[in-house]
Amino acid sequence: MYCNYCGKVIQDDANVCAYCGTRVGGVIARKRLVRPRAGRSIAGVCLGISEYFDLDVNLVRLVWLITAIMTGVGLLAYPIAWIVIPEEPLMLPMPAGRPATNP
């Protein structure tokens, strides 16, 4: 398979080109804006936004902090985003039961 952007040969099952870093493939799954359960500092708002837009989480946190200090909008927007953005679904482990048998 070839990357549509840089033209290099990549693996057939690749989602991201190893050379230029762009997403490849016929169908790109639609991402949802959610607050992840792992890796968040306070409520996961900045982490969720950074994952949704494929940005560095520290950059999003810095921009949010600067916006909060300079305009005060960030202080109001963070609790609103905390309420509005849904939390990532809880992934429960499979229950222990009988092992699957091959026919």
How many folded domains does the chain comprise? Answer: 2
Residues 39 and 73 in one domain: yes
Contact by Cβ (8 Å): 61, 54: no
Residues 53 and 69 in one domain: yes
Residues 37 and 78 in one domain: yes
66 within a domain of the structure (yes/no): yes
Per-residue pLDDT of the chain (103 residues; tens, 9 = 90+): 777 778 888 877 777 887 888 777 654 456 788 888 888 788 889 999 998 888 999 999 999 999 999 998 888 989 999 999 998 888 777 677 666 565 5
For residue 48, count CB atoms less than 10 angstroms from its CB and return exposed for 0-12, middle for 13-18, buried for 19 or more. buried
Q: Which domain holds residue 19?
A: 1-29
Residues 24 and 41 in one domain: no
pTM of the full structure: 0.60
